[in-house]
Chain A
Amino acid sequence: MRNVLAIAQKELRSYFSSPMAYVIIGFFLLPFGVFFYLYLQAFVQQSLQMAQAGGSININQQVIRYVLQNASVIILFIMPMITMRTYSEEKRSGTIELLLTSPISDVEIILGKFFGALGLYGAMLAVTLCYMAILFVYGSPEWRPLVAGYLGLLLMGGTFLSIGLLISSTTSNQIVAGVVTFVVFLLLWIIGWFADSAGPTLGPITSYLSITEHFDDFSKGIIDTKHVIYYLSFITFGLFLTAKSVDTERWRG
């Protein structure tokens, strides 16, 4: 466990000592800010109209829910940038040999890299909390659905990270790793579209596989064990395959 933390820390430090982390977070915040502002503006407009008409409108369901759902799509585009260098870089520069022969086990290295990337992702989400703080300054959103939403984002991001880590471990070319990761994410996202036309047996399975589909309930403010287990098992599977992939490196020579 200590080794895991040490590697995670090393990874995090290397992210933030290069411009990479700032570029990634900055490029995430730009569209996030635009979505946030547009939804908030529409909501304020509606608040004014409803002031005369009466009826109830809720900032959690009409702003935060949609902003988080859009964030889940932006993440899809940003994640490959975080994971593409994790293993490819080591392979290209040859430091992978050092890692493979070091006394630290593969699993510890993988977990370290995973938690390092998750730390960067967490920092990214932490910055978006500033945006949510604006809502608390001017209004009074419910905080509990918001917690559910961020828990969902964290789990979904972890799933993306584990897949990215796996793909990065298969190639020594960062660009190839990035592009392949991105396409795989896209496929896992769009697979949900087929659900409605795929028929009664295949439909539920395809929609179950779609990563973003499971985030819907979180964004509404619902925590459901089945979604949590889905994400956790996906993460486990991604990390397990990464371990296998790194292992082949050893006996393939």
Chain B
Amino acid sequence: MLKRIFGLLGWLGVALVFAAVAIRFLKPEWQQYYNALAIAGLVCTLLYILSQWREIGQSFSGRQTRYGSLAAASVIIVVAILAAINYLSTRHNRRWDLTGSKQFSLSDQTKKVLADLKSPVHVQVFARSDDFQRYRDRLDQYTYQSKQLSVEYIDPEKRPGVAQQLGVTTLGTVVFEYQSRNEKSTSDSEQDLTNALVKVITGRTPKVYFTSGHGEKEAGNTDRLGYSSITGALSSNNFKVDKLVLAQQNGVPDDADVVVIAGPQTDFLTGEIDALKKYLAKGGKLLVMVDPIVKENEPQPAQLEGLLKDWDIAAGHDIVVDASGMGRLIGADASIPVAASYPSHPITEKFNLLTAYPLARSMTPIEGGVNGHTAQRLVETSRQSWGETDLKSVLGGKPELDPAKDKAGPVAIASAVSGAAAGAAADANGDKKAETRLVAFGDSDFPANGFLGVQGNRDLFLNTVNWLAQQENLIAIRPRDPEDRRITLTADQQRRIFYLTVLIVPGLVLLAGVQTWWRRRR
């Protein structure tokens, strides 16, 4: 009776394994089912095999038991030896790449970086399970070159926790972790991966200065309008944040990678503006965020506006009003314009989150350019928005579009400009010319603590600073394409190959089989 049950179990195991394989190919998305089926099948088959062993065990007696335990011991010893050999062989392997273009080998630059690696680097790949192979093809070579590198493959759809923890939002992100620093790459090319690796090892921390002394938002301030959260985000993205009092210092410090002017209440002095101009001419990077003037009779910051105008950006004397009602999604009224789609620019590449700007002025590129600089629109509000010049009406709550005075939507709330640095004597070796970059926002509240709850605000600010800091590649590696070996066939040749491969060769072999069968029958 028991024997029959075990016999049935064996067949059940077979059926379950078949079902698992079938589901895997017909419905690959039912992963949990085929995993469960395969495990159940494994258990059934193991039980069946065990039952067979039990029978063998039962027939043991005296001398046979001794033989049996001897055999078992020798099996265990052999397993242990083989396991040890395999363990060692994965650690001390040699690899030969036989492809003509050495397609699966790394460049000398990467090899050198990996050879110099002294402490462990942990790599996490966030991609769909189907894409793992592509990353394996590449990263296996890295792990071969250096034992310090360990790679983990994570499907964010199955393990969303880890991705969130590291702030990974796009599929196909590779995170390099080294001594509690981390660096991301969103491509699988050797150049990008190696550069991310170099960055995480060298731990270059670009320095961001926030100007102070004009009532700007403060980096460490934890109030609703403070910047403490966003500066925290900057530090976790490997930025160093510091304060800069221009009036006390002789110009912008040399180690500044980005200078941020975050919502000054009063205008800058001429000397300060000159310092900034000098900094920009050297290839400086500046982020200006200027709020609209709300109080009556308060002067516009003419000096700052003049600086922006030099770089082809006009700061509007208005408040952008958004009547599209899109803001209601996040509980905002018309005085908080929102943006959901962005003109094409490196900062907003692959970026499609909602951003909101409480009380913003327009920041528009000046038609035709100024001094050879041409700014680009970075953030635009909806078509139902406009730049309201009658400030009182906004505060009164009844703004109306006046086509004669107001700027019709869509209104640019932010603009960006870049250009070769005029005053920079070409870099030491003269190979790379410094570039000036400037971004202007008509609002300084969007990255403040109270508004970071809006989905995209935080990411947009970080993207902007990243672009300004010019986190570009340090090593250039030419991708290795496989050798070009192609085949061209005429339709006729293809047909002949079809007959040959699918019909003639297998047919001949089977015919030979029939012939031997015939000969043996006689």
Q: Which residues of A contact B (CB under 8 A)?
A: 16-23, 25-26, 29-30, 33-34, 36-37, 40-41, 43-44, 47-48, 50-51, 55-61, 127, 130-131, 134-135, 138-142, 144-145, 147-148, 170, 179-180, 183-184, 186-187, 190, 193-194, 196-197, 200, 208, 216-217, 220-226, 229-230, 233, 236-237, 240-241, 244, 247-248, 251-252
Nearest CB in chain A: distance from B275 CB, A: 50
Q: Which of B241-249, B255-263, B420-428, B503-511 contacts A (4 or more CB under 8 A)?
A: B503-511
Q: Least Cβ distance of A234 to chain B in Å?
A: 8
Contact of A183 among B17, B100, B482, B489 (CB under 8 A): B17
Complex contacts, A18 vs chain B, CB 8 Å: 516-517, 520
Chain B residues with Cβ under 8 A from A33's Cβ?
501-502, 505-506
Nearest residue, chain A, Cβ from B98: A144
The reply to whether B485 and A59 form a contact with Cβ atoms under 8 Å apart is: yes
Closest to B79 in A: A237
Q: From residue B138, how far is it (CB to closest CB) to chain A in Å?
A: 12
Interface residues of B in 78-113 (CB under 8 A from A): 78-79, 82, 85-86, 89-90, 93-100, 103-104
Q: How many residues of B contact A (CB 8 A)?
A: 78
A226 touches B89 (CB 8 A): yes
Taking the closest CB of chain A, its distance from the CB of B27, in whole angstroms, is 14
> Which residues of B pack against A, CB within 8 Å?
10, 13-14, 17-18, 20-21, 24, 31, 34-35, 38, 41-42, 45, 52, 56, 59, 63-64, 67-68, 71, 74-75, 78-79, 82, 85-86, 89-90, 93-100, 103-104, 129, 132-133, 137, 140, 152-153, 155, 158, 481-489, 493-494, 497-498, 500-502, 505-507, 509-510, 512-514, 516-517, 520
Partner of A221, one of B99, B158, B486: B99
The answer on a CB contact under 8 Å between B86 and A37 is no
> Is the beta-carbon distance between B487 and A251 smaller than 8 angstroms?
no
For B67, B95, B98, B510, the residue with the greatest tally of chain A CB atoms inside 10 Å of its CB is B98
Q: Which of B74, B140, B488 contacts A244 (CB 8 A)?
A: B74
* Chain B nearest Cβ from A211, distance in angstroms: 13
Q: Is B501 a contact partner of A139 (Cβ separation < 8 A)?
A: no
Give the CA-CA distance A184 to B38 in the complex, in Å.
12
Contact B20 A190 (CB under 8 A): yes
Let me know if A29 and B505 touch, CB within 8 A.
Answer: yes
Asked if A44 contacts B489 (CB within 8 A), the reply is yes
Q: What are 28 A-to-B residue pairs whose CB atoms are below 8 Å? A: A17-B516, A22-B514, A23-B513, A29-B506, A33-B501, A59-B487, A61-B99, A135-B487, A141-B485, A142-B99, A144-B98, A144-B100, A170-B52, A190-B20, A193-B24, A196-B153, A196-B155, A197-B35, A221-B97, A222-B98, A224-B96, A225-B89, A225-B95, A230-B86, A236-B82, A240-B75, A244-B71, A248-B71
Would you call A194 and B484 a contact (CB within 8 A)?
A: no
Asked whether A131 lies within 8 Å of B95 as measured between CB atoms, the reply is no
Residue of A nearest to B513 (CB): A22
Cα of A51 to Cα of B488 in the assembled complex, Å: 10
Closest to A23 in B: B513
B486 touches A47 (CB 8 A): yes
Residues of A within 8 A of B132 (CB): 196
| Chain A nearest CB, measured from B228 CB (Å) | 35
Checking A25, A51, A179, A229 against B89 with a beta-carbon cut-off of 8 angstroms, the contacting residue is: A229
The reply to whether B85 and A229 contact each other, CB–CB distance below 8 Å, is yes
Give the distance in Å from the alpha carbon of A222 to the alpha carbon of B136 in the complex: 14
Contact between B95 and A223 (Cβ–Cβ < 8 Å)?
yes
Give which listed residue, A17, A40, A140, A225, contacts B520 with CB less than 8 A.
Answer: A17
Interface pair B502/A37, CB less than 8 Å apart? yes
Determine the residue in chain A with the shortest Cβ distance to B103: A61
Chain A residues with CB below 8 A from B95, complex form: 217, 222-225
- Are the CB atoms of B38 and A222 closer together than 8 Å? no
Which of chain A's residues has its CB closest to B13's CB? A183
B39 to chain A, nearest CB (A): 8
Q: Which residues of A contact B79 (CB under 8 A)?
A: 237
Asked if A221 meets B98 with Cβ closer than 8 Å, knowing A50-B486, A237-B82, the reply is yes
Pick the contact of A220: B86, B137, B506 (CB < 8 A): B137
Whole-angstrom distance between the alpha carbons of A192 and B158 in the complex?
17
Q: Are B42 and A187 in contact (CB-based, < 8 A)? A: yes
A197 to B20, CA, bound (A): 16
Known contacts A47-B487, A58-B483; 17 further A-B pairs (Cβ under 8 A): A25-B509, A26-B509, A29-B505, A29-B506, A37-B502, A44-B494, A50-B486, A56-B484, A60-B99, A134-B500, A134-B501, A144-B99, A186-B17, A187-B45, A194-B38, A196-B158, A251-B67
Contact of A179 among B14, B52, B97, B514 (CB under 8 A): B14
> How far apart sit A50 and B482, CA to CA, in the bound complex (Å)?
14
- Docked-complex contact B494 and A41, CB < 8 angstroms: yes
CB-based contact B99/A59 at 8 Å: no
Please measure, in the bound complex, the distance between the C-alpha atom of A18 and the C-alpha atom of B486, giving whole angstroms.
42
- Complex CA distance for A184 and B44, rounded to whole angstroms: 12
